[in-house]
């Protein structure tokens, strides 16, 4: 089980309680995508379709966490892409996710922090930040999700201090 899946399992009870008692749009889900599941649409990236929209509809090896807290807007994803998986991406998707020089990326896992954008004619995700071994790790990616969900008490790193809690133990980041 990778750290994105461990994070979802750890936070899922809180997400379900918020969904039940506060906001029916609030959710946190783990997906295993294949490179073919990612598609480009009007400069945005999407993975859900009318036929494939739930975690059980996907069976790839690319980890993705989907976090939603609003109806039309208010969603983010974290996508974990390995060097092998980057080679399998559609060139249009790879350009949107990693830039026009995506073929020059070094080895190592890249975490793509993405926010949902909703327009009159289309919707999808756009890259907010790329986390690679030179500028961060999985903790930064998980903090992005925690802050988006409004669960700031679950952030691992803050600007001024490092907060220790059970999440670090669950993820093996101690």
Kindly list the domain boundaries of the chain, sorted by start residue.
3-171
Residue-level pLDDT at 162: 55
Residue-level pLDDT at 143: 92
Residue-level pLDDT at 161: 53
Residue 74: pLDDT over 70 = yes
Q: Which of 21-25, 145-149, 169-173 has the lowest mean pLDDT?
A: 169-173
Q: How far is CA 28 from CA 19, 55, 66, 114, 140, in A?
A: 10, 11, 6, 14, 17
Q: How far is CA 15 from CA 21, 63, 142, in A?
A: 10, 19, 15
- The pairing of strands 27-33 and 39-41 is unpaired
Looking at the chain, the whole-number percentage of residues with pLDDT higher than 70 is 90
126 versus 172: which is more confidently predicted? 126
Residue-level pLDDT at 133: 79
Note whether 124 and 117 are within 8 A (CB).
Answer: yes
Residue-level pLDDT at 134: 81
Q: What is the pLDDT of residues 2-20, one digit of tens each?
A: 999 999 999 999 999 999 9
Q: Which residues of 112-137 are buried (b: 16+ CB within 10 A; e: fewer)?
A: bbbbbeeeeeebbbebeebbbeeebb
Cα(24)–Cα(27) distance, rounded to whole angstroms? Answer: 8
Helix extents (H) in 52-165: 83-88, 91-98, 138-148
Residue-level pLDDT at 168: 66
Residue 106: pLDDT over 90 = no
Q: What is the pTM of this model?
A: 0.89
The neighbouring-strand residues paired with 31 are 64
Looking at the chain, the whole-number percentage of residues with pLDDT higher than 90 is 69
* Structure tokens, 19: 């969904």
Cα(27)–Cα(67) distance, rounded to whole angstroms? Answer: 6
């Amino acid at each position: 089980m990778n750290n994105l899946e461990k994070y979802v399992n750890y936070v899922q009870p809180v997400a379900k309680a918020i969904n039940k008692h506060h906001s029916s749009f609030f959710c946190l889900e783990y997906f295993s995508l294949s490179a073919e599941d990612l598609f480009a649409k009007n400069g945005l990236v999407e993975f859900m379709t009318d036929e494939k929209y739930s975690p059980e509809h996907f069976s790839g090896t690319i980890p993705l966490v989907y976090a939603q807290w609003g109806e039309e807007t208010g969603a983010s994803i974290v996508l974990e892409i390995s060097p092998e998986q980057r080679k399998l991406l559609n060139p249009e998707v790879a350009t949107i996710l990693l830039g026009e020089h995506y073929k020059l990326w070094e080895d190592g896992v890249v975490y793509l922090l993405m926010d949902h954008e909703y327009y009159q004619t289309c919707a999808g995700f756009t890259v907010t930040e790329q986390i690679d071994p030179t500028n961060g790790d999985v903790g930064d990616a998980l903090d992005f999700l925690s802050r988006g969900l409004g669960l700031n008490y679950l952030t691992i790193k803050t600007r001024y201090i490092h907060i220790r809690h059970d999440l670090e133990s669950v993820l093996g980041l101690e």
